[in-house]
Amino acid sequence: MTTPDPRSLLYRQITPEEALTVTRETLKSCDDGELYMQFIASETFAFDDGRLKTADYSRDAGFGLRGLSGEMTGFAHANEISLNAIRRAGETLQLLDPAKGQAAPPPRPTNRHLYTDLSPLDAIPFADKVALLETIDAAARARDPRVVQVSASLSASWSVIEIVRADGFTAGDVRPLVRLNIGIVVEQNGRRETGSFGIGGRRLYDDLFLPETWNRGIDVALNQALVNLDSVAAPAGECQVLLGPGWPGVLLHEAVGHGLEGDFNRKGTSAFSGRIGDRVGAPGVTVVDDGTMLGVGGQGRRGSLSIDDEGTPTQENVLIEDGILKGYMQDRLNARLMGVPATGNGRRESYAHAPMPRMTNTFMRAGNDNPDELLSRMKSGIFAKSFGGGQVDIVSGKFVFSCTEAYKVENGKLGAPIKGATLIGDGPTVLTRVVGIGNDLALDEGVGVCGKGGQGVPAGVGQPTLLVAGLTVGGTG
């Protein structure tokens, strides 16, 4: 049995030759641009209160046509991939000023594939997916009598894209994405607390169905909930903060990473604008965005892409090296206007959105410090092991993040768990206050979603244990 070509899902009412012809017609007076075609299938199963609450499945296909002339962008999209629909979309581009310069060169080609072309939706039967969530629910409730509620969800998507340019360049990608989430509520003496766990990436469901995977997820979520049962009110004021490895890198992503994206820096609205070559962080602070990273089974991590949504191959981009600002993340538009190469960071949520510079997997590299030694340095402060929601001003980097699991630290030892702690500060300042960088770099388990300009895209974060000399902690104690 032969596997159908995924591209056939895009070329049902149009041929590849026709797609190239109509792209040349509609973009002939533009500096740059592309026809972006996409097919996407997705599913979500949610198990709550001991029963299956949601079983959603969807399929969608469409295109986005974008033309660029100078700083001007024309963009139109439709959920029908046909010659007539693309030509109608091309009428929007007639409003652009005619290109005055030479057309931008195409991205460099690549045959790299960071993940499987197979669809996670088709590999496992519906009944087995429901059975997994039932098993997780029963196992979590059996772990501890204090468990009063369990929620578990399983989701996946499979996306086929093709990018066609007027200069004849074409590039395609087939992108799987899976995710498992577990939430647990415990109750003791009338007090309720929650814990959560999530895992996923650009791969098939296979490892999510392994007992060692979902049992670990139950243990992590349950432990977090039970720890919070014993938590006391968080202290308030400025103090030393020890940030745990892995998911706490979301603070770096939000408070620093967005400020290193090309559009904000071209417009001069970022705290890092015009500072290439300047010291922006403490010695040892090296921040990287890398869309080529592999995870479980050698498959792509959640934020990884073989090519970005403009056809540029992703790459490792060193943004800050040993505290010195080295560069920004670029899509094609901002790279062209700033006179620098595109870095493989042009991303979009779907065919209905124009691309913009976005992060992929963003993390701080490991240092040489032993995490236990960093803890021993602290006279008084808090250890923030995990974060929940937060708010960030992208331009200034000012943030407020809530801790979902945190502890007091007294005389170099962990004390009581605390509840209601929020970290308040700004990313550029925090970078200069890093006084210890652990040797334990960890990346998140694959659940990050990055929001910008009304678009959400999968992203990865990470960091080693970090000791920050001073952060404002908002609390109730």
Predicted confidence (pLDDT) per residue in 432-452, tens digit: 999 999 999 999 999 999 999
What is the reported pLDDT for 94? 86
Gap between the Cα atoms of 368 and 149, Å rounded: 42
Gap between the Cα atoms of 269 and 313, Å rounded: 27
Gap between the Cα atoms of 153 and 29, Å rounded: 48
Residue 425 Cα to chain centre, angstroms: 22
Backbone angles phi, psi at 286, to 5 degrees: -125, 120
Token pair, residue 83, equals 């010659």
Token pair, residue 82, equals 């046909």
DSSP state letters, 266-325: HTT-STTTT-TTSB-S-TT--EEEETT-B-GGGPBPTT--SB-TTSPBP-EEEEEETTEE
Gap between the Cα atoms of 18 and 12, Å rounded: 12
Distances (CA, A) of 134 to 50, 52, 129, 212, 219: 8, 8, 9, 16, 16
Segments in 105-172 forming alpha helices (H) = 120-123, 126-143
Closest to 96 (Cα-Cα) out of 129, 65, 53: 65
- pLDDT for 360-379, tens place per residue? 999 999 999 999 999 999 99
3-state secondary structure of 213: helix
- pLDDT for 395-426, tens place per residue? 788 899 999 999 999 999 999 999 989 999 99
- Of 154-158, 175-179, 269-273, least confident by mean pLDDT is 269-273
**Average pLDDT for residues 280-305, to the nearest whole number?**
95
**Average pLDDT for residues 330-343, to the nearest whole number?**
97
Contacts of 215 (CB under 8 A, 6+ apart): 139
Gap between the Cα atoms of 96 and 75, Å rounded: 10
H or E segment at 385? strand 380-392
Strand partners, 172: 162
Q: How sure is the predictor about 288, in pLDDT bands with cuts at 50, 70 and 90?
A: very high
- pLDDT for 67-97, tens place per residue? 999 899 999 999 999 999 999 999 989 888 8
Token pair, residue 10, equals 């895009």
Backbone angles phi, psi at 19, to 5 degrees: -60, -40
- pLDDT for 184-215, tens place per residue? 999 999 999 999 999 999 999 999 999 999 99
What is the reported pLDDT for 385? 95
- Of 55-59, 83-87, 141-145, 231-235, least confident by mean pLDDT is 231-235
Residue 342 Cα to chain centre, angstroms: 19
What is the reported pLDDT for 1? 39
H or E segment at 95? none
470 has a pLDDT exceeding 50: yes
Neighbours of 301 (CB within 10 A): 30
Q: How sure is the predictor about 392, in pLDDT bands with cuts at 50, 70 and 90?
A: confident
Neighbours of 302 (CB within 10 A): 28
Reply yes or no on domain 6-229 having CATH 3.10.450.50.
no
What is the reported pLDDT for 477? 65
- Which residue ranges make up each domain of the chain? 6-229, 232-474
